[in-house]
Chains A and B, each alone.
Chain A
Amino acid sequence: MKIRRLHLNDFGVFRNETLEDIDSSLVVVAGPNRAGKSTFMTVLRYLGYGFPRKGRGLPFCVRQYEVEADVEANDGMLFNIRLQGHSKPVVSPVNHDREMTAEQLFGELDAFAYRQLFTISLDELRRLPEGVDKREQDNLQVILLGGGWSDALHLEKIRQQLDKEATDIGGKYGKIDVKQFKPYGQKLEEALAARDEANSQLETYYEKVAELQKLSGEVIPGFEEELEKLKGQLNRLALLTEYLEQYDRMVVLKQELEQPATAEMLHNPPAVTIDRVKSVQKEYETAVKDYQELEREFAGRTGGLKDDLKDGLLAAGDVLDAFAAKLSGWKVTLENLRLQKARHDSEGKELTRDLQRLNAEWKEGFAALAAVRVDKVSESRLQQYVEDYQETLQKYRQADRELAQTAGELRHKEQELAKQTRPDDGLQKRSLLLFAGSLLVLLAGVIVDLPAAIVAGILALMGTVVYFVTKNSRETEVRNVYHSLTGELQNLKTKHQTLQAAVSRLREEMTEQERMLDEIRQQLNLPVATPYRQLLDFYYKISELKKRYDRWVDSGRQLEEQETAYRQVLAEAAALLQQLGLYHPESGDILVHAEKLFLAVEQALDYLQLARRLHEAERRKQDVEREIGKILARHRLDSGEPEDPALAADMLQRVMERLENYEQLKDRYDRYQNLYRALMTALDTTAGRRLFRAYKPETAAENWIIEAFGSLRETFASKKEVEKEYAAVEREMAELDRLLEEARAKKTTLENEVAELRSEKRIKQALQKMEEARKELEPLAEDYAVKRLAQLMVSQLQERLLQSTEGSLLHAASETFSRITGGEYRHVLPPEDLGSIDFSVQTGGSRQKLGVEALSRATKEQLFLAVRLSRIKEIDPPLPVVFDDSFVNFDPKHVAQVVEAVKKLSETHQVFVLTCHPQLLEAMQAGGISPQFWGLDRGRFHGPYADAAHVLPLLSV
């Protein structure tokens, strides 16, 4: 791109200045200080970018900056760029229609880069241009080193960032136990430890199993066996302690009992016990005493002891017992009989009275009653007859009364009729005749027309009618009465006749009935005068009386029978008592004296009871005597039963003494036996036999256990010794118990451990934890590795970029630098630190490597100029380059070399050289390409000129 025309207005010192036909290769603007050169450079700097609001070198303006330029693109097309104020440049095509932007015209190069590379004042040739901030400083390096270096600059940042990030994760070396790895590393460590431990549990398991087997199979059973033994010993000692004294007593008793006499006596034990003898003694005394007392009582009561009475009583005992049972019955019976008798007698009297009351004629009493044949007369028949008769009588009386009445009426009617007028039979005839005559009169009168006749006729007619009516009514009444009376009379006559017939018939009937009733009266043996209507009443009374009589006769007979039987009973009793001499009968009916007999019976019963008790006492006495006899016989104290029972008591006493001796012996024997049995019971058990098995004698009897016990007993002098031994064994056992408990506890622990060890739970948990730890660690570890690898790649990328920079860009810069410095320096070397712009150089001769700081100001400026020039050449498209008195610090020789370089540059680029130095002007004029010259003085351009001479005078001022 090249600037071909430029118009400046209101831009610092410039007012409506236009530069036409600007040269497209090398343009030199000469002017004294303050002519506006730097302002001009500012215009060129911002032409493609617009003026910033703030910035070094921006001039004042009255209204607003106005800059306009025609530029030629690489392809030769013209574009117009307009800048107004601080606005962005507006680009428009000139004489064509191809659109281009300012950016495109300036090859997308940014403002900073353009300024730094293409518009070079002294500032730009310093290591750090004035007014460049830190960010721009970085940028500067990119600009100086070329396109790749923008990335290279980032690369360093990236590298540092990656390094930091990686270090944050895993420190410098990515060790598992640092930084962010640490918790996972620890977790993994723990999991590994847990896994190793769990894995080792297999050995532990089998070790523990073996240990457990030993414990269960040997140790514990051994302890248990030993303990069992001690327990046996302890139990034996316990038994020994408990039964030692008993055993000792038993042994003493045994020795005593083994004496010959004693043994013999024990072998023949008495058949009776001493208690028995004592009780017999007692029984005998009582029996004798009882007997004697009763004997006295009997004699006292019965008036001297009469054996026959006692025997008689005992013999009749059963009968008397029966009497005793019946006696009260007898008394009651007697009372009843007497009462019945009295009642019977009174009843008979009453019967007689009633009979006489019924028929005084019956003088013969009960005999008359017997004659009445009640049974022959049927009650119903009698009743029927009486009723029939009464009925007939009633009818008869009724009929008779009616007959008398009818006769009376008849007579009366006959008299009445006789008094009655007879009726007139010619009235009608007469009346008719009168009527006819009257009518004739009338008719005659009409015919003759005799009014008198007519009147007479009418009057006569009327009179006839009145007569007839009057006469006829009276006559009718008479006729009616008469006829009625004759009818009634006739009726009465008929009735009278009928009644007469009925009365006679009833009369006959009654007669017949009376005859039959009379017959019955006879049968009932009643007086003839007895009215028929009382007949039934009599019948009832007689029947009743007859029944009562019959009953009375029966009861009298029964009473008689009872009395007879009762007398018999009493007679028997009386006979027995009489025989016993306890009753003496009275003369007369026994029933009358029965009370005496009863008293005798009661006495007999009293005696009987006494006799019986006496008899019983005697029998008991004899029983005891028999018992004594038996005892004596058994003990052979005598040949047999004592003759005299009185001796029995003495003999019994002797028996007693012997028995007491035996008892004492027996007691000892029993005690021995008890001790023996007690020992046997205590020792001869399954447990006991087991305990003393060790002491079992070779010839084991049934009761070997006692012997065994004895053997053990003999090993101790005293019970105290046994107790001492017991305590010792107890202690031993306690110790063993403790050991056993320990072993068992250990066994339980082992069992639990083994069960625990069998399980895969722990190993699996450990593995899972490991897996988790690895899983959690892995992304982090990957992150670390990726960042470190990336960091490595970035480093290598930087190296390669550096190498390529050295190889290309810096190669060009070195060439330029070497040329400018006339070979004094040969190479420009890239900065050690890619983040800085500290290039170093190598001298031509000694090939010494020097840092920037070691160079003179001019050489430094030459270096940066060389670097810029080489960069400018790299950038496509070529853009206008401006040098604003950039070479003032160079000595003439170097200026010439720089000018040469600038001229060479102008072959490809449009170059503006602004200067106030005549020497430079001359140098530019000299040799090779001749530049276009412009003069600038206080904001006014003039030119262009082909010769520097036109502008030189401006500089000489």
Chain B
Amino acid sequence: MGRKVRFIHSADIHLGSPLKALGTASGFLRQKLMDASYTAFARVVDAALRYEADFVLLSGDIYDSEVRSVSANQFLSEQLRRLEKAGVPVFIIHGNHDPIGDSREYVRLPGNVTVFGHEQVEVREVFNKDGYLVARVLGQSYRNVSESRKMYQTFTPPDDNAVNIGMLHTGLNPAANAYVPCSLEDLKSRETIDYWALGHIHRTSIISREKPAVAFPGIPQGRDAGEPGWGGCLLVEVEKGKSLEISFVPTASFIWLTQEVCISEAAEPPVNVDDLVELIAAKARQLLNAKPELPESLVPAALEKTEVEGYLVRWVVTGRGTLHDELIAGREEEIARALEARLRQLLGSGSPFIWTERVQIRTGRPIPDLAMLLERDRIFRTLNEIYHDLMHDPAKRKQALSVVGSVWFQSKDHEDVRRDALPLDDGKFKELLLRARDLVVEKIIEGRDGE
């Protein structure tokens, strides 16, 4: 053997899913945001052709169950046909967003496409032009929107003589029963697999580079602030028993970022909305001066230029200052909207541009040395203890979660979706709890001042 196998690994395309920054975007930008998931997938296909990939792996969630359209079907079909024309086989598994059992998607897929079934793991062999077996692809699709089977257990290649690749759509979380529960160790235990081509987690990450390598390619184009950073796919080159190289192919047109702007850390404390705009604009300039960082531990594939078309930024204004009482308190949303409008106008037209997705205001009234208060003042010390208990003590935490209101639901996986409530993940919970603590501090101080 000794022949190198080169393939593209992509997943979580969520075709047709528009970027959640449409807001007041108009005209050209609006269209670009709407088409971004299409553009990104077309770039995945471009990459396969450009690097003359031997095959392409799409590890689930090609569609988005929230967005199903004729256009998406046709687009997928067209793009796959481009690969067919170049003789590139495509292997697809269905994920929780496009499970096989959900409904038939009316796409006539071209002959180069293999869609793995859901009943059991299937094995497909890939031969080179000379007729030699170069790789085996093993895959299994979701039957329903949630899939609790421990599928990995049956991923057993017949031998270890070819590059064996496993395709799995999983949260890589033994506790997440809805998304093919398994742990890294579980996957590692399948020793005859060379590469686990995973999908489901939207952030690009190479979990392991040692055999069997485990990787999430991430989403080709982030759709909201919860999917920050570069979106792309992976270019993998394997020489059986010798080497395995993974490089990153950026496919996103737009990069999502959440940027915190702290009013108390400003050299000159802002005193009005203009100052706030300037404070944020200064941060924006820093952003433009720095190159966007690639996903952790990844290098770009040989032919890639890591240039971004635009940033979609969520600005979070934090910190404590008199500005809060004098200007912001009670008008957070109003000021946030005003800032959004100003920033969009100010930053929205450069190259790369910065589109302000949203401004969130999390400022507070000034508190003299909060850290010291929390340490020394008996009541604040007690409050901080309560905060930590609620955050970390499971029983107390449960109590806390019970009061946030049924408008929130506890989300354990980014794909957990409830129609009529907002997801409350760990990060959000912590944020809310911290805000609650600070609110209590403020109130107590307010009470003392009023005496």
Contacts and interface: CB of A to CB of B under 8 A. Distances in A.
A174 B433 CA distance: 16
A609 to B, nearest CB: 106
Contact of B390 (A764, A768, A782, A793): A793
Listed from nearest, the 3 A-B pairs whose CB atoms lie closest are A174-B405, A154-B447, A789-B436
Interface string B369-393: 0000000001100110111001000
Given A202-B103, A768-B22, 6 more contacts: A158-B444, A195-B66, A757-B70, A758-B71, A760-B16, A786-B439
Interface in B44-96: 65-73
A192 B419 contact: yes
Interface in A768-826: 768, 771-772, 774-775, 777-779, 781-782, 784-794, 796-797, 800-801
B85 to A, nearest CB: 24
B420 interface: yes
A771 B225 CA distance: 12
Interface of A: 148, 150-151, 154-155, 157-158, 161-162, 170, 173-176, 181, 185, 188-189, 192, 195, 199, 201-203, 205-206, 757-760, 763-764, 767-768, 771-772, 774-775, 777-779, 781-782, 784-794, 796-797, 800-801
Nearest to A199: B68
Contact of A185 (B23, B420, B435): B420
A612 to B, nearest CB: 104
Nearest to B70: A758
B162 to A, nearest CB: 38
A158 B447 contact: yes
Interface stretch (B110-118, B273-281, B396-404): B396-404
A786 B435 contact: yes
B432 A154 contact: no
Contact of B435 (A195, A772, A782): A782
19 contacts: A148-B379, A151-B447, A173-B406, A175-B407, A185-B420, A199-B65, A205-B106, A758-B69, A760-B70, A764-B18, A767-B66, A767-B67, A784-B404, A785-B405, A786-B435, A789-B404, A790-B439, A792-B399, A797-B383
A771 B20 contact: yes
Nearest to B73: A202
Contacts of A793: 383, 386-387, 390, 436-437, 440
A154 B18 contact: no
Contacts of B67: 199, 760, 763-764, 767
Given A154-B443, A764-B18, A801-B379, A778 B422 contact: yes
Contacts of A201: 69
B138 to A, nearest CB: 30
Given A151-B448, A788-B403, A775 B358 contact: yes
B310 to A, nearest CB: 19
Given A154-B447, A154-B448, A175-B407, A797 B386 contact: yes
B186 interface: no
Contacts of A775: 358
Interface in B326-377: 332-333, 358, 360
A175 B448 contact: no
B396 to A, nearest CB: 8
Interface of B: 16-18, 20, 22-23, 34, 65-73, 103, 105-106, 332-333, 358, 360, 378-379, 382-383, 385-387, 390, 399-400, 403-408, 419-422, 424, 432-433, 435-437, 439-440, 443-444, 447-448, 451
Nearest to A155: B444
Contacts of B106: 202, 205-206
A764 B406 contact: no
A789 B419 contact: no
A228 B448 CA distance: 96
A199 B66 contact: yes
A175 B406 contact: yes
Contact of A800 (B386, B408, B419, B435): B386
A151 B451 CA distance: 10
Contacts of A176: 406-407, 420-421
B407 A797 contact: no
A774 B18 CA distance: 15
A786 B378 CA distance: 23
B71 A797 contact: no
A779 B436 contact: no
Given A192-B420, A782-B435, A760 B387 contact: no
A760 B436 contact: no
A275 B105 CA distance: 90
Contacts of A764: 18, 34, 67
Contacts of A195: 66
Contacts of A188: 419-420
A759 B71 contact: yes
B332 A801 contact: no
Contacts of B105: 202
Given A158-B447, A781-B405, A800-B382, A767 B440 contact: no
A777 B407 contact: yes
Nearest to B451: A150
B407 A170 contact: yes
A148 B378 contact: yes
B404 A154 contact: no
A789 B390 contact: yes
Given A154-B448, A174-B405, A205 B18 contact: no
**Centre residue among B20, B390, B407, B424 by max chain A CB count within 10 A:** B407
A148 B408 CA distance: 34
Given A781-B422, A793-B390, A763 B436 contact: no
Contacts of B437: 790, 793
Contact of A792 (B34, B69, B400): B400
A790 B406 contact: no
**Centre residue among B17, B23, B405, B437 by max chain A CB count within 10 A:** B405
Contacts of A173: 405-406
A797 B441 CA distance: 11
Contacts of A174: 403-408
Contacts of B400: 789, 792
A764 B64 CA distance: 12
A185 to B, nearest CB: 7
B17 to A, nearest CB: 8
A792 B407 contact: no
Contact of B18 (A148, A759, A767, A772): A767
A792 B437 CA distance: 10
B439 A787 contact: yes
B406 A781 contact: no
Contacts of A787: 436, 439
A158 B358 contact: no
A133 to B, nearest CB: 16
Nearest to A110: B451
Contacts of A763: 16, 67-69
A797 B406 contact: no
Given A781-B407, A785-B405, A157 B386 contact: no
B75 to A, nearest CB: 10
A788 B72 CA distance: 43
A158 B443 contact: yes
B403 A796 contact: no
Contact of A175 (B65, B70, B405, B451): B405
A185 B435 CA distance: 24
Contacts of B333: 779
Given A150-B448, A790-B440, A202 B70 contact: yes
Contacts of B422: 774, 777-778, 781
Contact of A782 (B34, B103, B432, B448): B432
**Centre residue among B18, B404, B451 by max chain A CB count within 10 A:** B404
A797 B440 contact: yes
B379 A151 contact: yes
B445 to A, nearest CB: 10
A180 to B, nearest CB: 10
A522 B350 CA distance: 140
B444 to A, nearest CB: 6
A195 B387 CA distance: 39
Nearest to B437: A793
